[in-house]
């Protein structure tokens, strides 16, 4: 493939107006959930009294258990262009993994892996994504961890292995813009 072919493929990308900065970007936006699903199900009183939420961490302290979540990235390849569609999703971790990750968060430790479960309902799949088992892989340079989904029978596996079309990526972006819990 020549340089002209690479340029043509890049031209297929649609421009998007960022809801955070208000500027037009020529790359696909990340589709980010502001909070884990389990935080969203709390009433306003519980959100104030038993939950702590930041842009990277969430802790919900129930009477009988404490739930811990971190913000991660799930990357779906987009065919026909040299970009990916990134989801900013929340993953639950064990107490030990959460505490270790949080203590090393500022140091940008690369190459650690933790077991977790997806804690957002990604609207692009017929089957629920809540509770899907993942590996959380830390990255350096201030980047959020990347997750890899354990091998299961779910449409998400096909998307991860085969990619999606630019048209499908654009549909997903539009769907997420219409939801209440996104950060497109």
* pLDDT tens track for 8-39: 344 344 555 545 555 555 678 889 999 999 99
User: Residue 137 domain-assigned?
Assistant: yes
Range(s) of the domain holding residue 56: 28-178
Cβ-based burial of 34 (10 A; exposed 0-12, middle 13-18, buried ≥19)? middle
5 lies in some domain: no
* pLDDT band per the 50, 70, 90 thresholds, residue 140: confident
Instruction: Return the pLDDT at 177.
Output: 78
State how beta strands 113-118 and 133-137 pair. Answer: antiparallel
Tell me how many domains the chain contains. 1
How crowded is residue 94: how many other Cβ atoms within 10 Å of its Cβ?
12
Is residue 16 in a domain?
no
Q: For residue 35, is it within any domain?
A: yes
pLDDT, tens digit (0-9, with 9 covering 90-100), for 81-96? 888 999 999 999 999 9
HSE, CB side, 13 Å, CA atoms: give it for residue 17. 3
Question: What backbone phi and psi angles, to 5 degrees, belong to 36?
Answer: -70, 155
151 occurs within a structural domain: yes
- Output the pTM of the full model: 0.82
Q: What is the pLDDT of the chain when averaged over all its residues?
A: 85
Residue 2 confidence (pLDDT) above 60: no
The per-residue pLDDT for 19 is: 52
Whether 3 is covered by a domain: the verdict is no
Instruction: Give the whole-angstrom CA distance, residue 97 versus residue 79.
Output: 34
């Amino acid at each position: 493939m020549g340089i002209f072919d690479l340029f043509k493929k890049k031209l297929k990308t649609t421009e998007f107006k960022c809801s955070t900065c208000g500027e037009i970007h020529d790359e696909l936006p990340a589709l980010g959930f502001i909070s884990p699903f389990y935080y969203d199900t709390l009433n306003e009183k519980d959100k104030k009294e038993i939950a702590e939420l930041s842009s990277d961490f969430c802790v919900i302290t129930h009477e009988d258990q404490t739930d811990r979540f971190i913000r991660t990235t799930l990357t779906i390849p987009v065919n026909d262009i040299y970009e990916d569609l990134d989801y900013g999703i929340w993953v639950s971790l064990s107490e030990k993994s959460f505490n270790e990750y949080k203590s090393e968060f500022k140091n940008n430790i690369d190459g650690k892996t933790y077991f977790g479960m997806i804690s957002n309902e990604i609207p692009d799949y017929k089957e629920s994504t809540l509770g899907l088992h993942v590996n959380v892989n830390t990255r350096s340079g201030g980047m959020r961890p990347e997750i890899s989904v354990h091998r299961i029978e779910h449409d998400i596996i096909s998307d991860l292995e085969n990619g999606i079309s630019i048209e499908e990526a654009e549909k997903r972006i539009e769907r997420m813009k219409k939801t209440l819990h996104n950060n497109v």
